[in-house]
Structure 1
Amino acid sequence: MLSSPGIGSGLDVTGIVSQLMALERRPLTSLDTKEAKQQTQLTAFGSLKGALSSFQSSLSALANPEKYTAKTATLADTTLANVSATSTTATGSYSMEIQTLAQSHKLKSANFATTGTTIGSGTITIQFGTYSGGAFTLNPDKAAQSISISPDNSSLAGIRDTINLANAGVTASIVNDGTGNRLVIASTDTGLSNALKITTNDTDTNNTDNVGLSQLNYDASTGGTTNLTETVAASNATLVIDGILINKASNKITDAIEGVTLDLLKTNTGTTTTLNLSRDTASAQSAVSSFVKAFNDLNKTIVDLSKYDATTKRASILTGDSTVRSIQTQLRNTISDPLTTAGGGLSILTEVGVSFQANGTLKFDSTALSQVLNDPTKDISTLFASVGKTSDSLVSFISAKPDTNNGKHSLDISQIATQGTAAGSAPAALTINTGVNDTLNFTINGVSASVTLATGTYTATSLAAEIQSRINGAPEISAAGITVALSESAGKLTITSDQFGAASTVSITGGNGKQDLFGTPVETSGVDVAGAINGVTATGSGQILTGAADSSGLTLKISGGNTGARGTVDFAHGFAAKLGKLVDDMLKSNLIDNRIDGINSSIKDIESQREALNQRLEGVEKRIRAQFSALDATIVSMTQTSNFLQQQLSRLPGASS
């Protein structure tokens, strides 16, 4: 019996229509199921793309050659120094005795009543060099620094603050010794060649008395004015390594043993300690282990998305997908494919203990890697990184691009890079007089500046040091990161830019000292290196040469030597570089994106089908309801007719019987 009778007819029209429409809506359920599967596939490809990106990121770190050639430095007595080594360090052991530590030159002033006591104003000039035999020899590598002391900052504290703000290679402090306040000036850098010479241009016009700013003068050379007192003499660090006496200006020594940095902490005079330099096998083991883990993480993602479980007979969302199979195959083939011309004596990963297992993952045998690391004829860096091995010691491999071809690249040099110079045409005048021949105007590498030289009588060597110090200290030059070197030959001075190539220029443009110091200078611009790699003209910039054609992206540094044939460069992309390029191509190409685009298109098509079906179902429901409404009306009419006939028949004679 119908539970919800309609009006008049007693039919459950709503229920009947609902059941009929449920049958009509079955195609919608099918579309929903199809869309859910497409969305799951879309998520799966997104996960695959993310896993490839993560793998690519891990490969970037693994492509660093130094990870596989690192060296470790250990000192038996760790309290003496901190030690470290680079990949260029040769293994071995050394005996070491630290006799003295380097010291900074420190000077103190006389006592002053308060920190606010007025000292004087004017200009303080600080120079760095070496005192020996009553003479002061300028350090040509340290620029002279001039500090202006204004009347507003002429107090003891004001001078201290002004010196510190100038960043002039010295620090200033005030020490109260119980009887008064002393200004202490210390060289920032240690070493004999960084002793201080301080001269002043005092506003009281007397630059040598002990009044005003000239109270801060310090020149310990013969005839110099020393109004400051030395508290700590400048000194070098001295140490003996394997019986060789080493003398250095700094306690941080980077050039005693190639690739080794010694940061001296204290002395052990009269005794020795042992410095051991060995291959850092832990670093290489960690690098290779990280590579194996990175691949296995990616492989797990691929397997989880595409595996088929024979036990449950259930497939994964991407089981059998051609794109996933292609990615997996390409990765495995690249790992299995031997390298060519790597130059390090290794060509395949199994040689360092990395091999495929039956389940498609990689396993790592650390013992096999250790054997390779202990073999001096093997260079594991060439197995993973992009490395070029040059046959000429003055040719260095700098870098390559992902599309640089593997192989042996021949090198021919037609022009060696040079530096810009300005050479004096006559011996320089050795006496500098104020306002007569003490200024120079110049342009170095396109940057112009001018300097004023200190008056006095020089040797050709000391004059070269003075000019070099002044030029390198010019604000415009130092701000541009430019330095020059001054040399002399038979009294003639030459200025040389530190830069190589066509942009390297030195021009002496004027100043009252130009004629006396350089005469008519011969100015020569630098030239870029030029040559060919594999017979194809390469691009030179300074000392850097970059290949073209099949050597495209191969970048070399030519540090000198002769023109002509310069040997070869054995270059190969290691496995990290090869896999990195492969993954990059996968991510940038349409391999995965085409599938994602196709799935998105299918989802949009499903949405269009659903919209069209919903519109059709609306019409179907209206039609069914209209039909049942008509049926309901018909039944009502027939019921009324039946009731009328029953009433009429009941009135006929004999109807009761």
Structure 2
Amino acid sequence: MGISSTGIGSGLNVENIITKLVALETQPLTSLQLKATIIQTKISDYSQIKSLVSTLTDTASKLSLDSGWNTVAVSSSNSAAVSATVTGIASATSFSVGVSQLAKAQSSVSDAVTAGAAVGSAGTLTLQLGTWGPARANATGSLFTPGSAASVNVTVAASDTLAQIAAKINDAGSGVVATVLTDASGDRLMLRSASTGEAQGFRVQANDTGDGNNTNDSGLSALAFDLDLDPGNTAAPTVAAYGMGANTYQAGQNAKATINGIAVTSANNSFKDVVAGLTITASAVTTSDAELITTNDKAALTKNIQAFVDAYNAVNKYLADATSYDDATKKSGDLQGDSTAIGLRNSLRSLLGTGVVGGSYKRLSDVGLSVARDGSVTVDATKLGTALDNPANVKILFAQKNTDASTNGIARKVKTFADGLLAFSGGLNNKADSLAAETKRNMANQDKVTARAAAVEKRLRTTYTALDTKMAGLTALSTYITDQVAAWNNNK
């Protein structure tokens, strides 16, 4: 900043004068900045209100949907072997489950080769998923029915080790997982279906170009697995088992169980929707049936209702505090007098006070939910627990849906109202847009005041600089005349 000499010529305290005049021009900034702070506080308040209303919507949604009332608890007399989880609309019931077989994936292991050594012959392994069975008439083989997935070819070089072949099989995405096992005898190739079940069995056929023989136990053919040895001869195959097919293996199998004596199967150990709304999981074979019992879960229903009450109370309290005025302290809430906040609180309170048509319970107070004078809701746990002995009637109070929306359940009404508030063109977003526009206008007004004050300061400095120049000239003339008169007098 340059050195200012304004006032030297006139002898006036020009800087002080300009500072005070400019301060008068910027005085409106104080009120505008205070208003900006108030607007930002309101924006923060409405952001919090929006979050609280969103939580209220979520809790009301649980009480508005059938799934929110389909809360059942499942117990098993042998949970180590049989368990169940609720995955849909389930009813209170009981049934017995016996498990005779668990699902398994097909797996096989090759003979050992020298650790790290190459297979020694080139060719192609063809992997195909499908189902083995039935067994041949003479029990020397089994028929193979390919699945819907296309077969996959894996090209093997004569220099490839088992580890390299395993990597190629895994990269091929055939549905067969390859692993190398190393023991005292050397390396072995282990193959396993990626999924359990009879239909996830696999066949591996070798096209061994290295030794020209695809049905022996040397080279690439040692890694084959095929029980359908002579497809053209269903009675007595003429080709002996070779490769992995000649070794002990685990066949793919489905899980088998009985539910109240009815046989059921599954490709994995989960039986989904065999009993409506439940997924039964088998973990072990049973020697006696396990008893599964499903009962209405009053604890879960109580938790959902309490969550709804807590969410409503949180919104009500925040709005009450924000719109309040304390006579004793003479302090008001951030939204005191705000019609949107006041209207929102009154509307929510009104919704909780409405009744429903149909069912045994007409109002919230009938099931132990009481609305106090301040709008808060309290829960009589004993009365609510008694009502939930028959959850269907309580469900009507909260979730009923009618053609006339005014007669809908309480939670459904609250959800509809809250969804409207949170909608793109809803009340809360409109309020946020209004406050954002008000902020923009406030900042524009602040910029105008600042610009006007800068213009006034510039004009004042120009004016006083001209005055200083004029006064300096007059002072110099006055001094000259005074000096001349003095000289004349001295000469005389």
Name the TM tier (shorter chain).
0.7 to 0.9
Alignment correspondent of 2:481: none
The letter of the residue matching 1:261 is T
* CA pair 45-137 structure 1, distance change in 2 beyond 3 A: farther
**In the alignment, structure 1 residue 53 sits paired with structure 2 residue 71:** no
Of 570, 583, 596, 2:422 maps to 583
Q: Which residue number in structure 2 is paired with residue 108 of structure 1? A: 109
Change (3 A) 1:603 1:159: closer
Residue 345 (structure 2) pairs with residue 328 (structure 1): yes
Q: Partner amino acid for 1:608? A: K
Report the secondary structure of 1:262's partner residue. strand
- Match of 1:107, SS? strand
The question of whether the paired residues in 2 share the 8 Å contact of 1:121 and 1:154 is answered with no
CA contact (8 A) 1:67 1:381 kept: no
How many residues are aligned here? Answer: 455
Q: Aligned partners of 1:606, 1:178: CA distance in 2, in Å?
A: 85
Q: Does the 8 Å contact 2:143/2:227 carry over to 1?
A: no
1:360 aligned to which of 358, 375, 387: 375
**Is 2:156 the partner of 1:159?**
no
Deviation at 1:129, TM superposition (A): 1.1
Q: Could you say which residue in structure 2 is the equivalent of 1:98?
A: 99
| Structure 1 equivalent of residue 89 of structure 2 | 88
Offset at residue 50 of structure 1 (A): 0.8
- The one of 279, 290, 297 equivalent to 2:296 is 279
Ranges in structure 2 where 5+ consecutive residues have no aligned partner? 1-6, 229-233, 479-492
Distance verdict in 2 for CA 1:333–1:152, change over 3 Å: farther
8 Å contact 2:103–2:196 — kept in the other structure?
yes
1:128 corresponding residue in structure 2: 130
Do the aligned partners of 2:54 and 2:422 also contact (CA within 8 Å) in 1?
A: no
What is the CA–CA distance in structure 2 between the aligned matches of 1:86 and 1:345, rounded to whole Å? 29
Whether contact under 8 Å (2:82, 2:290) holds in the other structure is no
1:21 Cα deviation (Å)? 7.0
- Change beyond 3 A, Cα 1:206–1:627: closer
| Match in the other structure for 2:74 | 73
SS in 2 for 1:256: coil
The Cα shift of 1:118 comes to 2.5
> Are the counterparts in 1 of residues 124 and 208 from structure 2 also a CA contact under 8 Å?
yes
Q: CA 1:603–1:301 in structure 2 vs 1: closer, same or farther (change >3 Å)?
A: farther
1:276-425 paired onto structure 2 within 5 Å: 276-336=293-353, 353-378=368-393, 380=395, 383=398, 407=403
Residues of 2 paired with 1:214 and 1:205: CA distance? Answer: 10
C-alpha change, 1:608 and 1:242, in structure 2 (3 Å) is same
Could you tell me whether the CA contact under 8 Å between 1:199 and 1:219 is conserved in 2?
no
Query: C-alpha distance in 1, partners of 2:466/2:458?
Result: 12
SS of 2:106 mapped into structure 1: strand
Residues 110 and 593 (structure 1), Cα distance of their counterparts in 2 relative to 1, 3 Å cut = closer
TM-score normalized with structure 1 length: 0.56
**CA pair 79-187 structure 1, distance change in 2 beyond 3 A:** same
Q: Give the CA deviation at 1:248.
A: 3.5
Change (3 A) 1:147 1:305: same
Match of 1:44 in 2: 41
Provide the secondary structure at the position in 2 that maps to 1:189: coil
Instruction: Please say if residues 176 and 193 of structure 2, whose CA atoms lie closer than 8 Å, have aligned partners that are also in contact.
Output: yes
Asked whether the equivalents of residues 139 and 194 of structure 1 are also in contact (C-alpha less than 8 Å), the reply is: no
Superposed CA deviations along residues 34-92 of structure 1, whole A, max 9, x for unmatched, are 22331132112211331233135425643354344333333344332453212412222
What residue in structure 2 maps to residue 446 of structure 1? none
Show the counterpart of 2:4. none
2:92 and 2:147 map into 1 onto residues whose CA distance is: 33
Instruction: Give yes or no for contact 2:129–2:175 (8 Å, CA) kept in 1.
Output: no
1:256 to 274, 281, 289: 274
Name the counterpart of 1:533.
Answer: none
Which segment drifts farther, 124-133 or 359-368? 359-368
Which residue identity does 2:149 align to in structure 1? A
> 1:598 offset after TM fit, Å?
3.3
Structure having greater relative contact order (Cα 8 Å, sep ≥ 6): 2
> Aligned equivalents of 2:121 and 2:462: distance in 1?
104
Distance across 1 between alignment mates of 2:434 and 2:392: 47
Matches within 5 A, 1:476-487: none
Bigger share in helix: 2
CA distance, structure 2, for counterparts of residue 87 and residue 369 of structure 1: 25
Residue in 2 that maps onto 1:179: 185
CA contact (8 A) 1:52 1:583 kept: no
Evaluate the alpha carbon distance shift between residue 252 and residue 141 of structure 1 in structure 2; reply closer, same or farther with a 3 A threshold. farther
The structure-2 alpha-carbon separation of the partners of 1:602 and 1:108, relative to structure 1 and needing over 3 Å to count, comes to closer
Change (3 A) 1:577 1:286: farther
**How far apart, in 2, do the equivalents of 1:73 and 1:599 lie?**
56
Question: Structure 1 residues 122, 308: closer, same or farther in 2, change over 3 A?
Answer: same
- Identity value in percent: 22
Distance 1:596 1:312, change over 3 A: same
Whether the 8 Å CA contact 2:69–2:391 is kept in 1: the answer is: no
Between 85-94 and 327-336, report the one with greater CA deviation.
Answer: 327-336
Q: Does the residue aligned with 1:199 lie in a helix, a strand or coil?
A: strand
Q: In structure 2, what residue type is equivalent to 1:148?
A: V
- How high is the TM-score relative to the length of structure 2? 0.72
Equivalent residue letter for 1:183: L
**Distance (whole Å) between structure 1 residues aligned to residue 458 and residue 54 of structure 2:** 53
Aligned to 1:439: none
Query: 1:20 & 1:183 partners in 2: Cα distance?
Result: 94
Counterpart residue type for residue 47 of structure 1: S
Note if contact 2:356-2:397 (Cα within 8 Å) is conserved in structure 1. no
SS at match of 1:312: coil
- Distance in 2 between the 1:168 and 1:223 partners? 30
User: Which has the larger displacement, 614-623 or 141-150?
Assistant: 614-623
SS for the counterpart of 1:44 is: helix
Structure 1 residues 160 and 68: alpha-carbon distance in aligned structure 2, compared to 1, 3 A threshold: same
Distance 1:129 1:603, change over 3 A: closer
Aligned partner of 2:448 in structure 1 is 608
8 Å Cα contact 2:129-2:199 kept in structure 1: no
Question: Once the two structures are superposed, what CA deviation does each residue of 1:380-410 show, in whole Å capped at 9, x if it has no partner?
Answer: 49946xx98xxxxxxxxxxxxxxxxx739xx
How has the CA–CA distance of structure 1 residues 141 and 151 changed in structure 2, closer, same or farther, with 3 Å as cutoff? closer
Check 1:381–1:32 CA distance in 2 against 1; reply closer, same or farther (3 A cut).
farther
